[in-house]
Structure 1
Amino acid sequence: MRAALGLAGVMLLAGLGPGPSARAVDATSPDPVRILLVGDSVTQGSSGDWTWRYRLWRHFVAAGVPVDFVGPRSDLWDNLTDQPGSMAYADPRFDKDHAARWGMQAFVPDVPAGRLVEDHRPDVVVVMLGVNDLLYGASPEAVAGRTVELVDEVHAADLEVDVVLAEATQTWFPGVTEFNDLLDDVASEVDDATGQVVVARTAARYASDADTWDTSHPNAQGEVKIAAAVADGLSEVGVGPPASRPLPAVPVGPRSGAEVTAVAGDGFITLAWTGPPGATAQLVWGRDVTADERWHRFPFPVTGVTWTAHYLTNGHRYRYRLQPMKGDDAPDGAVFSNIITAVPFRPPAAPSRLRAEPRQRCTTLTWREPAFATRYTVARRTPSGWRALGSTQRPRFIAERLPNVPAWQFRVRAWHRDVAGQAERIRVLRGRSAGSCE
């Protein structure tokens, strides 16, 4: 290839913590290796992922190999809204360009391979396609034949471009193992002295449970394995060192928690939350603080964006927190939402023992506080209806500048924050004393 680099170095695939910027890597050489990554959902990734593209880029950063990922896209698939365009990477600080799309087939690429080469001028093309064709009924032989055509299209546009054919990782799907077995024959058939073609062993030691979050798409550990195998394949065509072994263990599952709010009512608390990106469910943890309970996790993950705890004891203080999941992956480590505290309550009864101490133009109202009342509103009856006089958090209110009529009628309503309780009314005869109310 025209820009092949055979550099020795140490590989870093964990991808944790801040990393150097893609711009800094490109600046180390006036002629970085241009790599076009063509694939389906495994290559594109979804909201909240690092992606194996990120892991591969970090490998080149650690090895000191200047590269430039090229392609018409830079996005993730939003797995919650089922549409493209998400930029919610776990760490967006890398060269995100690619030519992959969720669900793409080798037989139906978004952009023909030759046009991609003409538009983006890669030195190497990494192709990871075929599993969707197999799932839609194409035979392994047919998909292998289509892969030959894709490589021919690449070389028709530029004979010097090297190609890395990555195995489909989902060997538990019908036809995948047979297709992978044919890739060596494909590479032999289309390999050229000018533009090399090699196979990346991305399916080796790749497991459904350990390396995916939904039996199809890679979790963080699967990303590391795919990136390492692609790095090995790129090394075969002279781009950078192979991956060092053993591969690092990286935490799986979402790495940030949701933002949670709570609304309490009569014997219940409803939680609502947003995020984190890509999370498909939440594990709910709770404790009754008043009863001095320990934190306990509820048995089943909760989907959606709300959840209600019923049959709670009014007046007790409860705390909740959420732990995000993506597919069947709970997060490694203490990844939680904010802790939310709420107190269920019964809507307040009407204030009792409502009394008045009237003067000629004012009166002092007092009452006994009902349970769960946090404030009170006071209104006076007028010919046109009830007129609000004000609110108070105390069981006492002074109504002033009252009209010079024989009697006044008042209404006192109890509230629990914004939830209205019952109201009590009282008719008050105007007093004889002209003194002020206290």
Structure 2
Amino acid sequence: MRAALGLAGMLLVAGSMPVPAADAVLSEPPEPVRILLIGDSVTQGSAGDWTWRYRLGRHFAAAGVAVDFVGPRQDLWNNVTDQPGSTDYADPAFDQDHAARWGMQALVPDVPAGRLVEEHRPDVVVEMLGVNDLLYGASAETVAGRTADLVEEVHAVDPEVDVVLAEATQTWFPGVVGFNGLLHDVAAAADTPTGRVVVARTAAGYDRDADTWDTSHPNAQGEVKIAAAVADTLSGIGVGPPAARPLPDVPVGPRTGAEVAAVAGDGYVTLAWAGPSGATAQYVWTRDASSSEPWRRLPFRVTGQSWTGFYLTNGHRYQYRLQPVKGDDEPEGAVYSNVVEAVPFRPPAAPAGLRATAGRRCAVLTWREPAFATRYRVARQTAAGWSALGWVRRPRFAAERLPAAHAWRFRVTAWHLDVRGEAARITVRRAPSGGPCR
């Protein structure tokens, strides 16, 4: 491979021929190694993931090795809406270029490998395909043969491109173990001194329960293992160092919480939320703050974007938070949404004891406050219907500049926030003396 020589190879070559000065060679930084990643969902990743591409990029950055991921895509798959185009990486600060797609098969690639090499001019192709072909009934031998064809397509365009064939990680699926074994035969037959073909042992030590979030796709721990196996193999052909051991212990599950809002009603509270990206369910945590209860997690997961808790005590303050889940992975550590508080209430009854003191062109209304009332709307009856006079928060309202009449009819409606309760009505006769209101 051309770019795999790097700076060390350049110095060795320079030592065998006359050059003006060593500083002239040292001042030329090595060209980045162009790496084309071809794969399916395991390589593309889904919303909220770091991806093993990210882990591999961080490995090279930490080692000071210049690489350039190339390819026609940068997106993740949105596993919640089941469509492409997500850009919600757990950390987007890396080279996101790739040529992978959720569900892609070796037998039916999005873009032929030869065309990808023509368009993106990689120094190395890392390919991880085949498991979807096996799941749709293709034999291990057929998929291995197609993989050999892919290598031929790459070398037909550029015989100096190195190819890394990554094993399928899902060894618990039918046919995968046999296919992975055949990959070594494909690599041995296609390997050349100028265009290496090697196998990355990405399936070694890979665990269905510990390393995936849905028995198929890698969680953070699975990403680290895949990236390490690929890094080890790339190191063997001169690209960067092998992965450091032991591998880092990274937390799994979503790392951010949802944004939650709460609305209360008569004996219930409804939660509605958005996010976090990639979360497939939520655990609801709740406490009755009025009774100083500790937090408790409800025993079931909630899907969708809303949930209602019933049979609550009106007037009590309830607090809620959500804990996100992706597949079968609960988040490690304290990963929650914001905390919201709501007070269930009964729609307020009509204001009791409605009374009035009248003047010549005014009236002062007073009443007793019903439970759960937070404000009141006062209206006066006219020939055209009820005409609003205003809102108050206290049980008193002064109606000024009333039209000349023997009597006026008023209505006072109790509200709880934006929920209307019942109304009380009263007819008020003008004071005989025609004096002012007090």
After superposition, what is the alpha-carbon deviation per residue over 1:260-308, rounded to whole angstroms, capped at 9, x for unaligned?
Answer: 0000000000000001111111111000011110000000111000000
Q: In structure 2, do the counterparts of structure 1 residues 7 and 169 end up closer, same or farther at CA, with 3 Å as the change threshold?
A: farther
Show the counterpart of 1:24. none
Aligned residues: 420
Output the CA distance in 2 between the equivalents of 1:435 and 1:129.
Answer: 92
Show the counterpart of 1:50. 50
Show the counterpart of 1:76. 76
- The code of the aligned residue for 1:346 comes to R
Query: Mapping of 1:11-410 within 5 angstroms?
Result: 29=29, 31-410=31-410
Q: In structure 2, do the counterparts of structure 1 residues 48 and 28 end up closer, same or farther at CA, with 3 Å as the change threshold?
A: farther
SS in 2 for 1:299: strand
Contact 1:271/1:308 (8 A) holds in 2:
yes
- The code of the aligned residue for 1:386 comes to W
Contact 1:6/1:235 (8 A) holds in 2:
no
- TM-fit CA distance, 1:237: 1.2
Show the counterpart of 2:424. 424
Output the CA distance in 2 between the equivalents of 1:268 and 1:103.
Answer: 42
Q: Which runs of 5+ in 1 are unaligned?
A: 9-26
After superposition, what is the alpha-carbon deviation per residue over 1:241-273, rounded to whole angstroms, capped at 9, x for unaligned?
Answer: 111111010000111110000000000000000
- The code of the aligned residue for 2:361 comes to R
Output the CA distance in 2 between the equivalents of 1:399 and 1:334.
Answer: 55
Show the counterpart of 2:22. none
After superposition, what is the alpha-carbon deviation per residue over 1:138-195, rounded to whole angstroms, capped at 9, x for unaligned?
Answer: 0001000000000000000100000000000001110011100111101011111210
Output the CA distance in 1 between the equivalents of 2:292 and 2:336.
Answer: 21
Q: In structure 2, do the counterparts of structure 1 residues 5 and 221 end up closer, same or farther at CA, with 3 Å as the change threshold?
A: farther
Show the counterpart of 1:18. none
- The code of the aligned residue for 1:391 comes to W
- TM-fit CA distance, 1:435: 3.6
After superposition, what is the alpha-carbon deviation per residue over 1:376-411, rounded to whole angstroms, capped at 9, x for unaligned?
Answer: 000000000000000100000001111111110000
Output the CA distance in 1 between the equivalents of 2:129 and 2:369.
Answer: 70
- The code of the aligned residue for 2:42 comes to V
Contact 1:28/1:66 (8 A) holds in 2:
no
Q: Scaled by the length of structure 1, what TM-score is found?
A: 0.94
Contact 1:212/1:222 (8 A) holds in 2:
yes
- The code of the aligned residue for 1:157 comes to V
Q: In structure 2, do the counterparts of structure 1 residues 429 and 115 end up closer, same or farther at CA, with 3 Å as the change threshold?
A: same
Output the CA distance in 1 between the equivalents of 2:54 and 2:140.
Answer: 29
- The code of the aligned residue for 2:387 comes to R
Show the counterpart of 1:17. none
- TM-fit CA distance, 1:28: 9.5
Contact 1:187/1:199 (8 A) holds in 2:
yes
SS in 2 for 1:77: strand
Output the CA distance in 1 between the equivalents of 2:237 and 2:28.
Answer: 21
Contact 2:7/2:29 (8 A) holds in 1:
no
Q: In structure 2, do the counterparts of structure 1 residues 40 and 91 end up closer, same or farther at CA, with 3 Å as the change threshold?
A: same
- TM-fit CA distance, 1:7: 8.8
Show the counterpart of 2:23. none
Q: In structure 2, do the counterparts of structure 1 residues 7 and 164 end up closer, same or farther at CA, with 3 Å as the change threshold?
A: farther
Q: Scaled by the length of structure 2, what TM-score is found?
A: 0.94
After superposition, what is the alpha-carbon deviation per residue over 1:329-379, rounded to whole angstroms, capped at 9, x for unaligned?
Answer: 111100110000000000000000000000110010000000000000000
Give me the identity figure in percent.
75
Output the CA distance in 2 between the equivalents of 1:191 and 1:435.
Answer: 108
SS in 1 for 2:415: strand
- TM-fit CA distance, 1:5: 4.5
Contact 2:6/2:30 (8 A) holds in 1:
no
- TM-fit CA distance, 1:431: 1.1
Output the CA distance in 1 between the equivalents of 2:164 and 2:203.
Answer: 14
What is the alpha-carbon root mean square deviation over aligned residues? 1.3
- The code of the aligned residue for 2:79 comes to N
Contact 2:231/2:243 (8 A) holds in 1:
yes
- The code of the aligned residue for 2:188 comes to S
SS in 2 for 1:245: coil
- The code of the aligned residue for 2:232 comes to D
